[in-house]
A = this chain, B = another copy of it.
Amino acid sequence: MIAVEPFTEQVVFQRPRAMTGAPTTYCPGCMHGVAHRLVAEAIDELGIRERAILVAPVGCSVFAYNYFDIDSVVAAHGRAPAMATGLKRVQPDKIVFTYQGDGDLASIGIAEILHAAGRGENLTVIFVNNAVYGMTGGQMAPTTLPGMKTTSSPLGRDTRTMGHPIKMCELLSQLDGAAFIARRSLHSPAEIRKAKKAIVQAFKTQIEGRGFSMVELLASCPTNWDMKPVDALKWIETHMVPIYPLGDYKTRVES
């Protein structure tokens, strides 16, 4: 029999299963929200929600444990890769990922991220680079752009005394243990889609046991940049992307 169905709607977009739906404490327009959603979508797509484990950082996304509907822990500032190492080494069948800000990962926690990558820990790292310390009120991060004013570089980052930006993808891709290292941005729908793909690829790297994977996401902190959210996204495109070129920095096929 040929049925003519009543006029219906199809869901094009809704909150992924791997998110709890708890409202976030993030500022209006903060890209942590988008980054969270992409990770949750990737988890849903790969069907790994029940074996995924989040290691949340100290930073604005310390609350991430509350937003993902998966088993979660919160690490000490910068130590998420070490904590994740502990979690993964004792249960290698789980999919363990850290979610870290740039202060957390590139400043206080640079030793832990480098060594996790160096050892080729089979972990995934979602690295949200917003060029400042969001949570503590916008101080300079190792990723702050030259000349950029922050609450701890009030006259702008002077590279002679405060150094140049540290580029984590470039650095980590030097390490033999790193299997997949990519940088994406969240400044437009198109870039958001690409970011999602990279996140999926990073998780796949782990699922296939190929070693350390990291996706760096250029993101905005409208509050501390003191910009409207829309302008902040533009600023990512015009100011951050030139210094932090997007792309795949390492894709190792063998494990």
Contacts and interface: CB of A to CB of B under 8 A. Distances in A.
Interface of A: 107-108, 110-111, 114-115, 118-120, 142, 159-167, 170-171, 174-177
A255 to B, nearest CB: 8
Nearest to A89: B161
A219 to B, nearest CB: 21
A118 B176 contact: no
Given A114-B110, A115-B110, A164 B142 contact: no
A118 B142 CA distance: 8
A244 to B, nearest CB: 13
Given A114-B114, A120-B159, A174 B170 contact: yes
Nearest to A164: B176
A211 to B, nearest CB: 9
Contacts of A142: 115, 118
Given A120-B163, A164-B175, A174-B174, 14 more contacts: A110-B110, A110-B114, A114-B114, A115-B142, A115-B166, A118-B164, A120-B160, A120-B164, A159-B176, A164-B176, A166-B175, A167-B174, A170-B174, A171-B174
Nearest to A120: B163
Contacts of A167: 174
A175 B171 CA distance: 8
Q: Give 5 closest A-B pairs by Cβ, nearest first.
A: A119-B163, A164-B176, A111-B111, A110-B111, A118-B163
Most buried by B among A142, A163, A170, A177: A163
A78 to B, nearest CB: 9
A175 B165 CA distance: 9
A142 B115 CA distance: 9
18 contacts: A107-B115, A110-B110, A110-B114, A110-B115, A111-B111, A114-B166, A118-B142, A118-B163, A118-B164, A119-B163, A120-B163, A159-B176, A163-B176, A164-B175, A164-B176, A166-B175, A167-B174, A171-B174
A159 B171 CA distance: 20
A114 to B, nearest CB: 6
Contacts of A118: 142, 163-164, 166
